[in-house]
Amino acid sequence: MEENPGSGQDSEWNSWGTSLKLLPLRARLQETLNQLSPQELRDFRTILKNVDVKPRVKELRLELEGSNAWGMAQLLAKYYDSQAAGRVMVQVLQQLPRADLLPRWQSAPPAVPEARQVIPRKMAKRSCDCVEDELERYDLSGKRKAFLMCVLKNRPGAQHDVQMMKKWLDYCRFEFESCIDPNKKEFLEKMRSFRDELNKIKDGIGCCLVTLMSHGEEGFIKMNNGENVSLEDIFEMFNNKNCPALQEKPKIFIIQACRGEKRDFGVETDDEPMDSDDGSEKRRLPTFSDYFIIYPTQAAHVALRHPDTGSVMITAMYDVFQEYGNKWHIADFFTKVNNRVVHREFNLRKEPVKVTLVMESTLTKFVYF
């Protein structure tokens, strides 16, 4: 069972992505880039490295952020104003060659005032400058599918979690289906149906994200009538054997549920700094790979949910995303979320209580939404 601890921006941003519009330049860039095939987009990235327009886009940022049309449009709009972007597009499209796309860039468009950016795009050093070159990022140009399950019954504040998660998924361009207050049979049927649909569109899938929010205990999540469902059984549905559509693609699980009854009341501080190779020619994968699982608390411990504002972890996700947008690698994003959670003060029945998030990962590349 979760515990209830006691203890903001522009109107555009308060809708958290649903009404947020691309700036005019970004919209024009993406409109053009959407016309390119995957191979042409790769060639575009290669040509861009040698384009004679300053400032030059760093090669590492091109690799990390320019793997799809949306990311490339964001990157170019960040580096160039409208005139410079026009010169870049003309040079690249001429070499590509895509003469059919040149007219829209050869004549400068009327000046459009740049709207004030409502999502700060602060770049984590790990995201750009300090990433190991050999570690690639996942290609998320395919469909992003998500499943959102939440038990509202006897969980005051859970409705806020649903609203925040839906806005986050929408902004990160996930197609998602919701499953609210299911019993065990309903949940498992919908979960298997979701998995089976992924397998039907195998080549078109970029990644999968499953969010489960309810009461729970170690290794289990509870349905609306108190029935337990094994988390291991859920994870197994999406492994490389049972869900081939997700082989070598990221499988993200966000679990908002207790993992036991223990409570961490914290400690006072003095504030001082303190594969084996069998020779087989056929390539193989481990049964479980490319997973990223986030828990709201340590094993055997309670999770925290405020009846007025929602779960501590989901609220911290909302706050961090408001401040930094979606430019963090997912592990760095949740590290920042954890920093917020760890350093916040909570009280449970007039006693201080602390929580820390737990991440489990078998990812083999970086994940940027």
pLDDT of the chain along its 369 residues, tens only?
566 665 433 333 333 333 333 346 877 888 888 888 878 888 888 888 878 777 777 776 777 677 788 878 888 888 888 888 888 888 888 888 787 788 778 754 443 443 333 333 333 334 433 444 445 889 999 999 999 999 999 999 999 999 999 999 998 999 999 999 999 999 999 999 999 999 998 788 999 999 999 999 999 999 999 999 999 999 999 999 999 999 999 999 999 999 988 777 766 655 443 333 344 445 677 888 899 999 999 888 889 888 889 999 999 999 998 888 877 889 999 999 999 999 888 877 778 888 899 999 999 888 988
- CATH for 8-106 (1.10.533.10, 1.10.10.10, 3.40.50.450, 3.40.50.720): 1.10.533.10
Catalytic residue among 208, 258, 301, 329: 258
- Name the active-site residue from 160, 215, 301, 306: 215
Domain spans, the chain: 8-106, 136-265+280-361
Q: CA–CA separation, 98 vs 93, rounded Å? A: 5
Which amino acid is it at 206? Answer: G
CATH of 136-265+280-361, one of 3.40.50.720, 3.50.50.60, 3.40.50.1460, 2.60.40.2140: 3.40.50.1460
Strands 310-311 and 305-306, bridge-based pairing = antiparallel
Length of the chain as a residue count: 369
Reference 357, options 330, 338, 336; nearest CA is 338
Same fold, 8-106 and 136-265+280-361: no
Residue whose entry in the numeric block shows the structure tokens 């055997």: 300
The reply to whether 160 belongs to the active site is no
Residue type, 224: N
Annotation marks residue 215 as catalytic: yes
